[in-house]
Amino acid sequence: MRTYTYIAIDSRGERLSGEIEASDPDAVVSQLTARGLRIESVQPAAPREPATAERSRPAGLTAAETREVGAHISEIISAGVPLEGGLAALAEEFPWGRVKRSLQGIVHDLEAGNDLESVLARRRSAGYLPALVRAGQRSGRTGEILDNFIAGSQVVSDLRQVLWTALAYPLILLAVFVPLMLLVLIKVVPQFGELFTDFQVQLPILTQALLAIADYLKRDGIRIVLVVLGAVVALAVMIRVIMGRVAVRRLMCSTPIIGPLLRWSALARFSPLLSALIEARVPLDEALLLAGDASGDAEIEDDCRVLAASLRAGNSLQAAAAETGRFPASFTQALTWERRQEGLPEVLRSMADMYAGRARAFVMLIVVLLPPIVVLFLAVTIGGMIVLLYMPLFELLKNLA
């Protein structure tokens, strides 16, 4: 018998919490339902470990590592292979890394008699993965639920990979160009200035500005770089502290091109997870909280908390989403299927495909526009410097002739 913690609502609408011993989560639900309680959540009770054991608790998995571990678990369960043996064989294929250590740790905990949900929670994976496993165990469709979620998450991961691949070329150009430009400004441009001064050449205003900048960088270049970096870091910290995670995310999402890309990508990751949780009979308010936490978007996470609180207050999901005013109209309209639980997961998956398509369109826009913009910027900068330096030089040569 294991100990579980629960949150439930009694016949008077009051929320209750406590601990109960049972063989599995289904037995807990049966016992509490027999008491006339409506279940909100059931979780394995955290083991009471000594302080030394707490200090040795394994490090948490990143979102990518959690997704990879979830994909391996899904493959093994779908194949009907014993979980411990399948994970142990997979762990041997990894030469090093935290995923290998995590898989080995999961195998060790499973062989010690722990259930998969509590093992994943102890390994500090993202909270939605143990919830999906728990939901899958209740419905008997763990592999299918994990497959659906991994497929949705992989779409966003592929988009991110395409974006970074497209950004590699312009970023490399800038990484080479900026140090080279600073070297030219510090070492080469001042020599032109000395030449023009010796021959008392009348310089255009823009050439004088370029020579002044070069002279200033030559005298205080390192100090300027340190001051600029310090100012940027201080400004970023101040904005984060003063505005908070949610406000900063909303500010980022309001920027052209990048903002919509972030928003559609987060919704494409959020919608399939919410669909999988609802399909697995996770209570809607709990599913919203888990999906919001897993979206990686502070704004969606905050909105989901508002939606969950509104649901618990007795409001409909569509009305609560419309009241926040931050979800797309298509998503709010899809929530009219809330009371038709069989249809809502499919609608949410369709929404996820649509949001992924919109995010893909913005990625393609960045892929097409950014490289030529960077090349044009470099050409204008280099060409401008050449014109500003060589026009007075040509005038000097003409006078000497």
pLDDT for 63 beyond 70: no
Q: Nearest to residue 86, comparing CAs of 75, 97, 96, 71? A: 75
Alpha-carbon distances of 28 from 8, 22, 31, 40, 365, rounded to whole Å:
11, 6, 5, 12, 52
Rounded average pLDDT over 269-287? 81
Task: Report percent pLDDT > 70 for the chain.
Answer: 88
What is the per-residue pLDDT across 368-384, written as a single tens digit (0 to 9) for each? 888 899 999 999 998 99
Which pLDDT band, with edges at 50, 70 and 90, does 46 fall under? low
The span from the CA of 16 to the CA of 111, in Å, is 34
What is the residue whose two structure tokens read 């928003």? 263
How many residues would you count in the chain?
401
Contacts of 282 (CB under 8 A, 6+ apart): 131, 135, 290
One-letter amino acid identity for 227? V
Mean pLDDT on 230-242: 84
Mean of pLDDT over the chain: 79
For the full predicted model, state whether its pTM sits above 0.85.
no
Q: Residue 24 has what pLDDT?
A: 66
Q: Quick check: 119 and 109 in contact, CB under 8 A?
A: yes
122-180: pLDDT as tens digits? 777 766 777 778 777 766 777 777 777 777 677 777 888 888 888 888 889 989 998 89
Angle, alpha carbons 279-154-63 (nearest 5°): 90
